[in-house]
Structure 1
């Protein structure tokens, strides 16, 4: 249920009618209360009966008053607001956590780490892309935490996070790590971001490598590993970093990159087995068997490099 539905239910309760728009016409909430609602001739308005009043006071009135008070106090009430109920509940928890001090350390860590929108989404929402395009929700989070989450939209050009004395290069599938400069620069990592599958440009990067070893960091899912294989065609000595992040359920996170041949994990989802170590293949088989994946930003960059070198 989103704020538009909650607001419409309240208007129906207070005034006796509410105009039907596309959101309300498709709303499962309004459909679930069809016995308590009537539609005016011409299908322009929902009107209520006595059953609705009883249902609304029992199930929705307290929530509406809580959410309305919070949104108004935070100056978030806008005509285009479409926050769902779970989003508002989470914002209220954030506000309470900052007020009582339980989230102050986390807020400081987010600021220190120059956290990105997708990084924050990975921590608090069901997947790392949940906040994509949700400008008002991102603004509300920034306001409550008093931070500015870094935007990390896909780019169509090679972006480089430079450091003073680079020891190696890491090609990143996503832009998250490039938005947080402290760990890479402190350890001599130069980060490259080509924009996901947009890797043909890597053919022209030989001179700017300066003979440095180069590694690949990406999501451990079908798409991320396919991108590694495409990038390795352009950079034959590209080495794959082994993940240290916790895997997540593909179905539970609404992830769109699905493993091929789940009934036969040993086929490695059609990936080229010659490009992976025994350890890599075992991890891929494990992820396919569990229908899991590992996000790039869920890994620790320094740990991946240290483990590769050891």
Structure 2
């Protein structure tokens, strides 16, 4: 749902009716409430409530809406033309929490130092370098929450992001940015984290590992294992793939886009026998393991 739908559902709760518009006509959520739950109905120009709507709204929607509205209002983001998706609002709320705890400060400093682009920030926080393109209101919201004046718009990214520690014992190259947002646990264990940006591995031609052991942490899905890891291995031949300990999730169940389309489970000999066994089960069960669901410290130990 986007904010227009969320606001309409709240308006229905308060006023018992709302004016029909094109967004609401196409809304899957509202059509579900009309056709399946039968707690809403519509005429040519109006959606109106039926018996049972208030109870369902209070149980399933009200607390979330109040939280979203308060957050958007408190940070000057609640504007008449707002069309944020609900997932975008949740992401912004997460950014704010990480800023308040200080977890994002090292990453924020590197974003400023490296003059990060919209594509880089999009890949960091939305796992898709094109997600933010053209979404100026969402870009402005992210800049506001990160307290950053501007983002560059070039496409050629030749730098990596590093969560440094004073006396690193090893380096972990992460496919996604999430672990770099948790500085305390890794710094206290003398682990340096790198983030290069998913498939954007050409910059790894120039890295200096300083003689440290290097490990690779990734999503155990088709893209992470069959595309990105072999590219990384070409750039850093000594790198070792970490064996996941996270819980596998169904690809369809999580609406994940990286699907198993190949049955070569050896990946040109890049996996250990144990890792091949894990991969075999994931493919057979149509599952994947999300990188951030792993406990990296336990894996290393």
TM-score interval, normalised by the smaller of the two chains? 0.5 to 0.7
Output one character per residue of 1:223-278: Cα deviation in whole Å (capped at 9) or x when no partner: 111211111111111111111111111111111111114xxx5x22xx62411110
Moved more, 252-261 or 29-38: 29-38
Tell me, in whole angstroms, the C-alpha distance in 2 between the residues paired with 1:188 and 1:228. 24
RMSD: 4.5
Larger-Rg structure? 1
1:94 aligned partner: none
SS at 1:304 equivalent? helix
CA distance in 2, matches of 1:213, 1:173: 17
Q: 2:202 aligns with which of 200, 203, 219?
A: 200
| Pair 1:26–1:240, CA change in 2 (3 A) | same
Matched, 1:59 2:52: yes
Task: Describe the shift of the 1:82–1:204 C-alpha distance in structure 2 as closer, same or farther (beyond 3 A).
Answer: closer
Please, which runs of 5 or more residues in structure 2 have no aligned partner?
91-96, 106-124, 148-155
Question: Aligned residues, how many?
Answer: 245
Residue 125 of structure 1: aligned partner: none
Can you list the C-alpha shifts for 1:180-220, whole angstroms capped at 9, x where unaligned? 22222222222221111111111111xx2222221111111
1:215·1:238 contact (CA, 8 Å) conserved in 2? yes
What does 1:243-282 correspond to in 2, within 5 Å? 243-261=244-262, 265=263, 267-268=264-265, 272-282=267-277
CA pair 59-242 structure 1, distance change in 2 beyond 3 A: same
Matches within 5 A, 1:165-176: 165-176=167-178
Deviations 1:151-173 (A, max 9, x none): xxxx9421122221222221111
Mapped to 1, the partners of 2:52 and 2:179 lie a distance apart of: 44
Residue correspondence of structure 1 range 1-310 to structure 2 within 5 A:
4-5=4-5, 7-8=7-8, 10=11, 14=15, 18-21=19-22, 23-28=23-28, 29=30, 32=34, 36-39=41-44, 46-47=45-46, 56-62=49-55, 63=57, 66=62, 76=73, 79=80, 80=82, 111=101, 156=157, 157-205=159-207, 208-225=208-225, 226-261=227-262, 265=263, 267-268=264-265, 272-306=267-301
**Structure 1 residues 239 and 82: CA distance shift in structure 2, 3 A:** closer
The residue that corresponds to 2:121 in the other structure is none
Aligned partner of residue 274 in structure 1, secondary structure? coil
TM-superposed deviation, 1:38? 3.3
Distance change (3 Å), C-alpha of 1:251 and 1:202: same
3-state DSSP class of the match of 2:193? strand
Preserved CA contact (<8 Å) 1:259 1:291: yes
Query: Secondary structure of 1:4's match?
Result: helix
What TM-score does the superposition give when structure 1 sets the normalisation length? 0.62
How much has 1:221 moved relative to structure 2? Answer: 0.9
**Which 5+ residue runs of structure 1 have no aligned equivalent?**
40-45, 91-106, 116-127, 149-154
Contact 1:247 1:294 survives alignment (8 Å): yes
What per-residue deviation string (whole Å, max 9, x for no partner) do you get for residues 89-146 of structure 1? x9xxxxxxxxxxxxxxxx99x959779xxxxxxxxxxxx959x87998xx9xxx9xxx
Question: How far apart are the structure 2 equivalents of 1:173 and 1:255?
Answer: 16
Q: Within 2, Cα distance between the matches of 1:281 and 1:239?
A: 14
